[in-house]
Amino acid sequence: MSGAGPGFRHRHLLGIAELEAADIVQILDLADSFLEIGERAIKKVPTLRGRTIINLFLENSTRTRTSFEIAAKRMSADAINISGSGSSTSKGETTLDTARNLMAMKPDVIVVRHFASGAPALIARHVDAAVVNAGDGTHEHPTQALLDCATIRRQKGRIDGLEVAIVGDIDHSRVARSNALALGKLGASVRLCAPHTLMPRGIDRLTGDVEGRVRAVSTLDAALDGADVVMMLRVQSERMGGEVPRFANTREYARYYGLSTRTLARARPDAIVMHPGPINRGVEMMPEVADGDRSVILEQVTWGVAVRMAVLYLLGGGAHGEA
């Protein structure tokens, strides 16, 4: 059974909340060194040869699932993908039974995306493999925050002291939660912006490493004014089934919270524009911004592979291979 990798203090990656700034920097530095493997003609190193990585994705995904699979394969691990519709969870098997049965096949790492907050932590308590949270409900999406930090660090040369605006459906966003924690721990100031109906209570009263670094604002102008980084989020309508609508309609949402060339002008002239995807074009972000020269959205996706290689290396026993 593989344990945590060289000098990494954690057995699992369940959330940014459990990490200290030094842990985050360790992952980012390692991702820096792995990025160039994607530029090679032969994009493969033997680092995780013989390791087995199961991607258990019980909620839809394009970027996270593909990049975990590519990351595993670039490191020569055997990667197996399981999705909800193709698995026995659709026949009524519990998540825990699924995890225990997968564990019986002796994987080294189980990467879990789940619609329920806390599912990866529950699995981690019942299996011997390292567990990586690939996004759980509205709780955390730690590798997304790590790849966002890697992108910002490369673009801006630092994270400490930056003003970062995160705008959108904060209430349902695991990305906002993980990013507020990661960026705050690395010394950025984070403004979380949403209509009152999409802002959870007390989000700006986070304590510990990020105390005083995260604040909630309700207007787009207040979020964007002088921002170095603008991160837009999607309204997660799929998590609001049957609820009273949180806003009148998407046209009104776009009018007050959509990022256009005009509204982006409030940010610093060198501000970068980010989005974790998938984008709802014309709602939270206009196409001219998504495809504009300040957008680093596809660079985020590229960093996603390098960051996930780093995470698999640290948790999957890469110390015994060679990079």
Contact window for ligand CP (CB under 6 A) among 55-63, 198-206, 236-244, 263-271: 55-63
Residue 107 binding ligand CP, by CB under 6 A: no
Contact window for ligand CP (CB under 6 A) among 28-36, 85-93, 243-251, 271-279: 271-279
Cα 82 to Cα 51, 69, 143, distances in angstroms: 17, 11, 19
Size of the site for ligand CP (CB under 6 A): 10
Please give the radius of gyration of the chain, using alpha carbons only, rounded to the nearest integer. Answer: 19
Residue 117 binding ligand CP, by CB under 6 A: no
Contact 316/53 with Cβ under 8 angstroms? yes
Residue 168 binding ligand CP, by CB under 6 A: no
What is the closest distance, in whole angstroms, from the C-beta atom of residue 265 to ligand CP in the complex?
A: 27
Residue 135 binding ligand CP, by CB under 6 A: yes
- Of the pair 45, 181, the CB lying nearest ligand CP is at 181
What is the closest distance, in whole angstroms, from the C-beta atom of residue 199 to ligand CP in the complex?
A: 21
Residue indicated by tokens 């806390």? 118
Cα 300 to Cα 46, 146, 147, 150, 297, distances in angstroms: 25, 10, 6, 8, 5
What is the closest distance, in whole angstroms, from the C-beta atom of residue 117 to ligand CP in the complex?
A: 15
Output the six-digit token pair for 134.
Answer: 């690939």
- Of the pair 135, 258, the CB lying nearest ligand CP is at 135
| Pairing between β-strand 52-57 and β-strand 189-193 as defined by DSSP bridges | unpaired
Contact window for ligand CP (CB under 6 A) among 201-209, 248-256, 260-268, 272-280: 272-280
Contact window for ligand CP (CB under 6 A) among 61-69, 156-164, 181-189, 247-255: 61-69
Name 197's Cβ contacts closer than 8 Å, sequence gap at least 6: 171, 246, 247
Cα 45 to Cα 51, 69, 109, 319, distances in angstroms: 13, 14, 18, 13
- Of the pair 264, 301, the CB lying nearest ligand CP is at 301
- Of the pair 5, 135, the CB lying nearest ligand CP is at 135
Residue 120 binding ligand CP, by CB under 6 A: no
- Of the pair 55, 144, the CB lying nearest ligand CP is at 144
**DSSP class per residue in 189-232:** EEEEE--GGGS-TTGGG--GGGTTTEEEE-SHHHHHTT-SEEEE
What is the closest distance, in whole angstroms, from the C-beta atom of residue 116 to ligand CP in the complex?
A: 16
Q: Which of 144, 263, 280, 295 binds ligand CP (CB under 6 A)?
A: 144
Residue 62 binding ligand CP, by CB under 6 A: yes
Q: Which of 61, 76, 83, 237 binds ligand CP (CB under 6 A)?
A: 61
Which three-class secondary structure state does DSSP give residue 249? coil
What is the closest distance, in whole angstroms, from the C-beta atom of residue 300 to ligand CP in the complex?
A: 8
Residue 276 binding ligand CP, by CB under 6 A: yes
- Of the pair 45, 273, the CB lying nearest ligand CP is at 273
Sheet holding 52-57, edge to edge: 78-83, 52-57, 109-114, 130-136
User: Angle CA(151)–CA(156)–CA(162) in degrees, nearest 5?
Assistant: 100
Q: Is 137 left (phi over 0), alpha (psi -120 to 50) or beta?
A: left
Which three-class secondary structure state does DSSP give residue 61? coil
Q: Which of 64, 95, 179, 189 binds ligand CP (CB under 6 A)?
A: 64
3-class SS string, 42-54: CCCCCCCCCCEEE
Q: Write out the residues near ligand CP by the rule CB under 6 A.
A: 61-64, 135, 141, 144, 276-278
